[in-house]
Structure 1
């Protein structure tokens, strides 16, 4: 009995002591010095054997052991508890191939080896025949010693970006030290290809392994040009100033004395704004093909700035900039970009907008624009441009709506005010005085009065009144000069002038639907649906601008030695002003239009369910617009505008249009007040302008759909680019298409054709001239084999029936390397380039390049 009580008391005291130990921060029991800091989690698919005398634990088949952030897998893992050492090794199957090769993952570093010996407590280890990678760099070593989670020493190793066990190329060394995710330092090193060493030895090697951006030199590529001489292109430096700002500095140097300088900073503050700048300075010096001078010299520049503001940074406020300014001959001297050589239009815009949101919403926009024509060398600058829009006010509306509103409560009054200024000049004659002399400004106020009447059946009725007022800063006077035989400026009167205009309108719109389904029960075509949308507008505009027009008389010779006759036309004092003049004369008549839409419904012969029925649009829209002025003394019927747009088979885009002049013309091409169908022969009129554009893209399905989806998602995550940046990138890709070859798409074809013509009055008012532009652009590529791709793109001028530019490229996929050949045999400059370079971005400057081009003056 006493023994039982003693044992019970002992158990209670032990329980109390354990409870006290749990409650105390410092345990009363001692912890062994060789105790690990964390648990070891281990498992195996076959068996786990523990040998108690030796204190060894062996894991068989698909073994895995985890300790802190280290994860070790192998076919066999042995854990020696006395030494805290883990030994991992594979086994060999019946075919003699290794199974369960040891792999250790720790701190974002993966290491695969034939065997791993690792001390869990000191976190040091030795591996044999190890392969590890850091970013795009793969490191192979016969023996590697791990000192810390980030520091390694290797013996007889190689560096490569090829992910094969036996890489195509590598840099071999006997000694190396690796600081994970930072850099690697080696002793004497030499390159080898396909296991064959090259007789090029370097005293030491330094390989950056850091992720993200870091400053460094940008090596050049060697080029040869018959007119510029030998050159080094792309020599520069990339500088990271901060997490939000970096810049690229590059230069091209040529042996004949020419040079180019490029500065490209980029900035980005997440959730606030981002932007890029590109400044280029060209000092061109080329051997002249004709003339007295031995060289053709030119100094040109280019400046691009793109700025985007995140909409979430300041709701209601936005600022965007897209500046593209260059010398008129800058594109002409881009020797290796045939597409840019034909680009003669440059434009810029800077816009700030502010929206006040409350009971009423007000909008303010301040902008500046620029455009220049490199052919005529005329530069137009428009700034500041200010636009203010007030919300529509409904003066007859009730404060609190109860039930349906009355028709008069929908009467609204709005206000749109704009102010603009600008100047035009030739770039060769630019000066501050000339800019001041040519600067002019203007303002415009528009007050629209609207009223939405209730629907009457299928017809919607919308009356409207609009009043406009414009302010001008000058009047222009012109007259015919018999000495020079042309119309010249007689004078400019500066001041503040105004003009008013008013119009009244009543528009009616409806839609008519029609279907035809009589194609038979078993026909694939189930029906055709036709939608017609006619619009008719009755309007009246008084002649409030007549006092601002005057007669301009110009004499013309009818034949050699014959008596001159005169042509009189009405021109305005405000021609060429910021907003232009209001139209002269009264208008009281109708404006009409007709739009059509056609689609078909088809059924699938294999799929009889509802999903097998498909609607396809045949014609997105076609129709015409015009007007008839009852109050005009002459030329009552306006030109008729026709348009057409369609997308066939979801791949062929077609747009077209034309303008029909319904009047007869005199000897010099001016309209006569007589309809075309009133002549001896029946005619509807003359086509005075027209356009037609057809474009299509065909390409095969990707071989790897998942890879294509990842590529598209990556493109969507990139920072948005302006139109100029997109065009510049497309130009570079077009000229170096081989570097962007997509072997995942077996073939692709892009075709586009554009045709435009207009009949416009000659600058000297002596008649009319027809301007025609037409072109055919084509590009495409196809996989000759799984590793070879051939591409071709070009530009054909249909007007002159001449091939203006053609570029072909050949690409070879060499696994970790890629070879590209680009040839431009026809174009503004003839170009040849061959490049062999690694695909990895870390070795993008390690390339073999040969470039040669010739410039056509």
Structure 2
């Protein structure tokens, strides 16, 4: 476990005559100009009108001029062809109106007056207000609220036309031209709201505004921020186009503004530019990070192309895509590449490093196909990727030391018996040794259990009827390589392939009513395509191994049987007239004895002679030509052993604290307590194997999980700390010698109402850790890509809203992980590892929260990787600060921006990345 004391942190400070690369700086500046240009030039093109063909068909025959059309008597009626057009109705649609207090019509003024909870329905238009007046001569509808001396101005108009809803103070609507004047309106446009003093409705799809405010705040009476639009045009559901606009924070103007602006409005995904964050790093200069373009390809798949650029020439790129189809599948794929340059060319510390990482996650819906399934979880790339990457999104995976992948397809064929097949490709990579193990691919097939002697009707009973057999096939192509040879020709030179066939035959039956007994035999056959041959080289004085290509096989078999039972014990503490807290304890014990025979297959073994310098044969060394195969080699020595195991479980019934409960409460004292050992009858010495003990339990209402284990050796050690064939108790010691022990405990604590404190804000960072192969918690920290998170706080109960300045009910949570390992196999008597890790979050107020992830190495006395987090909820805005105070990843990250996704690029982010350190 990596650690470092704060007092041991040193920073190497020195000056360099760094060369200013003007071209690369100008390139970075031009990139920002490109972004600002495209950010306000996104529109949805209208569909062009089709042009009707103007060429007439030459085959059309014109009518004869002599032909006289027949005129019916009905068409000659003069009353049906009256030249006087009927007068148009006063209103085109039927007007439906209603009012609670009164409805009055003025014949003289041709006006209809509605008062108190008035409603008008006219075509697709609906108006609700306290006071509505309809002027039939001017074809206008005037709506306003009611002024009350107690409640003030109430029953403001609500104007609805189609899907557009406007809530003004008053409105004048012309039923003939469909135009309207709206005063002090509030209109929802996408995730935001437009508040305008005067709005002119031109038609169903165009609005003109004057002195308007655009905000995503929930408090529309006093928004904490808004963008002031002096003049604007709104096309609902499509766009907002403005003239001069600038940002106001609590009615205080800021210099952040634009001479003109464009806000796309769409109910579905749209493509657009992703604004990068900027900062500075001592050894790479200024940088732009996580900027690029988002492609909304379709409703099923998208693509984000992101890039990083540093003025010293370093760069990086990321491709992130998410896809999903309902009831079928969902997944995501990402590729990351970074070309990192350290220092300047010509300096002794100049270096260039190229790293990459590929991730793919795919899951199939269970409803898609019940008989077949495809899944993928891929995480592979450079072993140093997470340690070398300077992108803040990888901070939570800095301590990963393994990368693993698996892509599998399985299918079941229903029937009697059932047949299952699967094809899997796996990958395992150690980032410390840079060793890669792969299987490309692994095929597995199996035939379900067959009971050849069972009756066709009734249950299977007895030793004969329970006889069953299976067939399993495993074919594997295994590759072991390193980072430097990954996916090169040399990687496949040492590939190993083989087939393994197994046929287990077993049965089970009852003995003496209370004992269960099973017996089984297993046939195993291995096919391989490479074997070895060993000879001794008298010149170099060593054994020479030669690979032999060609098909070869070996066959083995074994026999095993076991007998076991279950014993129940009850300790009753109840007595007449007494009600003890612990009423009963139940002990469940499951002893088991097994016997195994493995014959010797020494016919598959050969030997070579070791010749001394004077030409004499000194010894013979046995070897198997299959020993380097992927399925191992057959046993050389006969084995006859007995295994003994005992598992225990303890439960208790205690008095419930709830006085209304009629039954005692059951709690678990020990989930399991297991002991196991074995005795080898065929061995000539050290026949007893060490006793292995393991156990676990949960405490404090399952909040704390404890697991422990130990190894007890019955044999003694000699003066050279080697095991000898003499019991430890006969050598003057105890019955058993403790050779190793371990204890792990994890404890999750939280306040009663703080179980989810700040969880949603960091869940995306934890998901990023899991996808990168890390922990599913924040004990090692989380990703610091705050700009890509959209946190929406849940609405709390109105009756329990704490103060914004002081939260007297402080929600909190704490996670603790403790681990200790003891070693004493050769009298070293030492604690091999001893660590304590912890992480937690504390909500100081409704808006303020802090969190930390750290640990302490108790053996080496040093802090482990530490991350401190601070967050402030600014209503429509969000502020985050993350700080790694020490270690080689010392850095900090500050972010403030708008939560809404439509204005998420209105942000400020400042980062300080790790510097060069000793």
TM bin (shorter chain): 0.7 to 0.9
SS at the partner of 2:732? coil
CA gap 1:606/1:770 in 2 versus in 1, 3 angstroms? closer
Q: Using the alignment, how far apart are the partners of 1:207 and 1:271 within structure 2?
A: 35
1:630 to 677, 681, 685: 681
1:393 positional shift: 1.0
Describe how 1:167-182 pairs up with structure 2 within 5 A.
Answer: 167-182=223-238
SS at the partner of 1:827? coil
Describe how 1:475-624 pairs up with structure 2 within 5 A.
Answer: 475=531, 490-495=545-550, 496-518=552-574, 523=579, 525-547=581-603, 574-575=626-627, 577-582=629-634, 585-610=637-662, 613-624=664-675
Residues 462, 508 of structure 1: 8 Å contact kept: no
- Give yes or no for the alignment of 1:329 onto 2:389: no
Report Cα offsets for 1:707-752 as digits up to 9, x if no partner: 999x79x999x99997547759967845468976979782121111
Report Cα offsets for 1:464-501 as digits up to 9, x if no partner: 2222233344446789999999x987444444242413
1:206 positional shift: 0.5
- Give yes or no for the alignment of 1:851 onto 2:906: no
Partner of 2:844: 784
Q: Using the alignment, how far apart are the partners of 1:553 and 1:776 within structure 2?
A: 54
CA gap 1:56/1:547 in 2 versus in 1, 3 angstroms? farther
Deviates more, 1:475-484 or 1:321-330: 475-484
Q: Using the alignment, how far apart are the partners of 2:873 and 2:609 within structure 1?
A: 70
1:77 to 132, 145, 149: 132
Report Cα offsets for 1:199-252 as digits up to 9, x if no partner: 344221111221231111111111111122111111201112222222111111
Residues 328, 374 of structure 1: 8 Å contact kept: yes
Report Cα offsets for 1:646-703 as digits up to 9, x if no partner: 1212211122223333333456655333333331222403424x44321122223447
Q: Using the alignment, how far apart are the partners of 1:551 and 1:95 within structure 2?
A: 108
Q: Using the alignment, how far apart are the partners of 1:704 and 1:128 within structure 2?
A: 46
1:303 positional shift: 1.0
Task: Point out where structure 2 has 5 or more consecutive residues left out of the alignment.
Answer: 1-85, 611-617, 797-809
Task: Point out where structure 1 has 5 or more consecutive residues left out of the alignment.
Answer: 1-29, 555-565, 762-766
Partner of 2:525: 469
- Give yes or no for the alignment of 1:230 onto 2:286: yes
2:190 to 135, 155, 166: 135
- Give yes or no for the alignment of 1:154 onto 2:209: yes
Residues 736, 822 of structure 1: 8 Å contact kept: no
Q: Using the alignment, how far apart are the partners of 1:297 and 1:211 within structure 2?
A: 46
CA gap 1:758/1:245 in 2 versus in 1, 3 angstroms? farther
Partner of 1:662: 714
1:544 positional shift: 3.1
1:426 to 471, 478, 482: 482
2:447 to 382, 386, 390: 390
CA gap 1:81/1:481 in 2 versus in 1, 3 angstroms? farther
Describe how 1:192-207 pairs up with structure 2 within 5 A.
Answer: 192-207=248-263
Partner of 1:380: 437
Report Cα offsets for 1:404-439 as digits up to 9, x if no partner: 756522221111111112121222255745323321
Q: Using the alignment, how far apart are the partners of 1:635 and 1:553 within structure 2?
A: 29
Residues 784, 893 of structure 2: 8 Å contact kept: no
Aligned CA-pair RMSD: 4.0
Q: Using the alignment, how far apart are the partners of 2:147 and 2:540 within structure 1?
A: 100
Partner of 2:882: 822
Partner of 2:165: 110
Report Cα offsets for 1:756-775 as digits up to 9, x if no partner: 567999xxxxx999994554
SS at the partner of 1:302? strand
Q: Using the alignment, how far apart are the partners of 1:514 and 1:569 within structure 2?
A: 59
1:87 positional shift: 2.7
Describe how 1:675-824 pairs up with structure 2 within 5 A.
Answer: 675-688=727-740, 690-702=741-753, 723-724=771-772, 733=782, 735=784, 746-756=811-821, 772-824=832-884
CA gap 1:418/1:724 in 2 versus in 1, 3 angstroms? same
Q: Using the alignment, how far apart are the partners of 1:704 and 1:98 within structure 2?
A: 43
Report Cα offsets for 1:316-375 as digits up to 9, x if no partner: 111111111111221121233444222121111110111111232110011011111111
1:831 positional shift: 0.9
SS at the partner of 2:387? helix
Partner of 2:35: none
2:413 to 335, 347, 356: 356
Deviates more, 1:68-77 or 1:821-830: 68-77
1:789 positional shift: 1.5
CA gap 1:525/1:472 in 2 versus in 1, 3 angstroms? farther
Q: Using the alignment, how far apart are the partners of 2:886 and 2:676 within structure 1?
A: 44
1:80 positional shift: 4.2
Q: Using the alignment, how far apart are the partners of 1:552 and 1:453 within structure 2?
A: 49
2:697 to 627, 642, 646: 646
Q: Using the alignment, how far apart are the partners of 1:89 and 1:607 within structure 2?
A: 61
The structure, 1 or 2, with the larger RCO (C-alpha pairs under 8 Å, 6+ apart) is 2
- Give yes or no for the alignment of 1:320 onto 2:375: yes
Q: Using the alignment, how far apart are the partners of 2:459 and 2:884 within structure 1?
A: 72
Q: Using the alignment, how far apart are the partners of 1:589 and 1:447 within structure 2?
A: 22
Partner of 2:82: none
Residues 61, 74 of structure 1: 8 Å contact kept: yes
Describe how 1:435-450 pairs up with structure 2 within 5 A.
Answer: 435-450=491-506
Q: Using the alignment, how far apart are the partners of 1:524 and 1:78 within structure 2?
A: 80
Larger strand share, 1 or 2 = 1
Residues 769, 775 of structure 2: 8 Å contact kept: no
Partner of 2:895: 835
CA gap 1:53/1:804 in 2 versus in 1, 3 angstroms? same
Residues 397, 773 of structure 2: 8 Å contact kept: no
**Between Structure 1 and Structure 2, how many residues are aligned?**
802
Residues 869, 881 of structure 2: 8 Å contact kept: yes
SS at the partner of 2:493? helix
CA gap 1:775/1:75 in 2 versus in 1, 3 angstroms? farther
Partner of 1:460: 516
Deviates more, 1:444-453 or 1:670-679: 670-679
Residues 429, 435 of structure 2: 8 Å contact kept: yes
Residues 403, 773 of structure 2: 8 Å contact kept: no
Q: Using the alignment, how far apart are the partners of 1:156 and 1:546 within structure 2?
A: 95
CA gap 1:571/1:69 in 2 versus in 1, 3 angstroms? farther
SS at the partner of 1:140? strand
Relative to the length of structure 1, the TM-score reads 0.84
Partner of 1:275: 331
1:778 positional shift: 1.5
Residues 312, 344 of structure 2: 8 Å contact kept: no
